Each structure stands twice: as structure tokens, then as C-alpha cells.
């Protein structure tokens, strides 16, 4: 009886895994699928893997070609339906990018991610913070502050990193895992820490400490 239960469990598990894998492939969103038409741009060869995260304001989001948005990634632009945004697109993701599983890119003004940018899992990128000037009001209801974010082409953003409003990361930069990034960083830099700072730069021949 015990052996039968093990065999039955193994058989059911195999079926479930096969169905799940098939479902993930079929439910993924490609450029020719109806949900892709909601986006400002959905490039050839790009895919949003299933299950998706929360997708909001797709008409203000542009995805380049050959880009992979992993499962459980949230992409959003704006806060309310039919909101008129100040920039178009609000969120721009370039060609040949990989956005890691569980990440969130939350745009209100402008987030520009270049080509060939890869992120690890659970990366958070936003261009808006709540104000907290009035100590008599809850922070959540105070006017927000927007500041554009730029992530340069060819960069790598490690797992768990947080990219805050106003971050301008140059091309070919490495952001270490769990870093909190704000401010401007030159190309060819390794950035790490909370708050993040430059720990390596490239002098044209080798990586050096600043």
C-alpha cells in the first residue's frame, strides 16, 4: 500500500509539473498576443512570462525587442485609470533586457532603462517618493516628488537592489545585490552599499578602487 501511494504521488506530481510548464508557456505574453496590444510598444521577440505581476498603465509602457520580463514582475505607470501623464512613455525598457523574477518597475514620471540591462530577482525601481514636509499630515497623503531614473545600457542590477528617484546610472555599471541607489554614477562603475557608493571604476585597462 505504501509503495502504491508513493507511485501514485510521483505520477500525479509528474502530471502537475507537466501541466504547469505547459500553462506557463501558453499563458506567456508575446508581441502578437492580445494583451501586448495594450502597451505603447511591445517589441518583436519580447515576452512577459506567466504568471505576471501587476500590470498597470500599459499604454505608457514601452518594451523593446528581444526583452524578457520574468514571472511575477510588476510594471506600472501612473496611479489611476485614464491618468494623463507628463511624459510618454513613462516606463521605457530597451532591447535585449532581462528583468528578474519578482521585480517591480513603478513609474509616475520617467524611468528609462537602456539596452542589454539585466536585473536579478526582486529589484525595485521607482521615480517617485512621498513628501514628508508637513508633520501634521500622514506621509501617505502628502504630495509626491517625482525625479526621473536612468539605467544605462549594458548594466547589471543585482538581486534585491532598490533604485530610488533621481538615480542616474551610467552605461556598463554593476549595482551590487541589496544596494540602495540614489544620485548620479559615471559609466563603468561598480556601485554597492546602503546608501550606494562607487567601490570600483575602470580606467580603460583595469578595474581600480576610487
- At 8, is the pLDDT very low, low, confident or very high (cuts 50, 70, 90)? low
DSSP string, 45-77: T-EEPSSP--EE-GGGEEE-TT-EE-TT-EEEE
Q: What pLDDT score was predicted for residue 37?
A: 96
Distance CA 151, CA 173 (A): 9
Q: Which of 72, 108, 130, 145 is catalytic?
A: 130
Contact yes or no for 175/169 (Cβ under 8 A): yes
Three-state SS at 192: strand
Helices and strands counted in the chain (H then E): 1, 24
CB atoms within 10 A of CB 36: 18
Q: Does the active-site annotation cover 130? A: yes
**Of 130 and 187, which is predicted with more confidence?**
187
Q: What integer best gives the mean pLDDT of the chain?
A: 91
State the pLDDT at residue 174: 98
Which pLDDT tens digit goes with each residue over 64-80? 999 999 999 999 998 77
**More reliable by pLDDT, 74 or 8:** 74
Over 70: is that where the pLDDT of 189 sits? Answer: yes
So where are the chain's domains?
1-29, 31-208
Q: Where are the alpha helices (DSSP H) in the chain?
A: 2-27
Burial of 78 (0-12, 13-18, 19+ CB in 10 A): buried
**Fold assignment, 31-208:** UDP N-Acetylglucosamine Acyltransferase; domain 1 (2.160.10)
Q: Give the mean pLDDT of 36-45.
A: 97
- pLDDT on residue 86: 78
pTM for this predicted structure: 0.88
Q: HSE on the CB side for 62, CA within 13 Å?
A: 15
Q: What are phi and psi of 118, to 5 degrees?
A: -115, 140
Report residue 205 as a C-alpha cell. Answer: 585597462
Looking at per-residue pLDDT, the higher value among 68 and 13 belongs to 68
Query: Which residue shows C-alpha cell 498597470?
Result: 56
pLDDT at 53 over 70: yes
User: Does 12 score more than 70 pLDDT?
Assistant: no
**Higher per-residue pLDDT: 110 or 3:** 110
Give per-residue burial for 137-171: e unless 16+ CB within 10 Å, then b.
Answer: eeeeeeeebbbbbbbbbbbbbbbbbbbbbbbbbbb
Residue 27 is predicted with a pLDDT of 77
Mean pLDDT in residue range 91-118: 98
Amino acid at each position: 500500500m505504501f509503495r502504491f501511494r508513493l507511485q501514485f504521488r510521483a505520477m500525479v506530481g509528474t502530471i502537475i509539473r507537466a501541466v504547469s510548464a505547459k500553462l506557463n508557456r501558453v499563458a506567456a505574453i508575446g508581441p502578437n498576443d492580445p494583451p501586448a496590444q495594450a502597451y505603447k510598444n511591445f517589441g518583436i521577440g519580447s515576452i512577459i512570462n506567466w504568471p505576471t505581476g501587476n500590470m498597470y498603465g500599459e499604454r505608457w509602457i514601452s518594451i523593446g525587442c528581444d526583452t524578457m520580463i520574468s514571472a511575477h514582475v510588476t510594471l506600472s505607470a501612473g496611479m489611476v485609470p485614464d491618468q494623463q501623464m507628463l511624459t510618454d512613455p513613462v516606463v521605457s525598457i530597451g532591447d535585449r533586457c532581462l528583468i528578474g523574477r519578482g521585480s517591480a518597475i513603478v513609474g509616475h514620471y520617467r524611468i528609462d532603462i537602456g539596452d542589454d540591462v539585466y536585473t536579478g530577482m526582486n529589484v525595485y525601481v521607482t521615480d517617485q517618493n512621498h513628501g514628508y514636509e508637513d508633520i501634521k499630515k500622514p506621509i501617505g497623503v502628502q504630495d509626491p516628488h517625482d525625479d526621473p531614473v536612468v539605467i544605462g545600457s549594458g548594466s547589471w542590477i543585482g538581486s534585491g537592489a532598490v533604485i530610488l528617484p533621481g538615480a542616474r546610472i551610467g552605461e556598463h555599471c554593476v549595482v551590487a545585490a541589496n544596494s540602495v541607489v540614489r544620485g548620479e554614477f559615471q559609466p563603468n562603475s561598480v556601485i554597492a552599499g546602503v546608501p550606494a557608493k562607487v567601490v570600483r571604476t575602470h580606467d580603460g585597462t583595469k578595474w581600480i578602487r576610487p
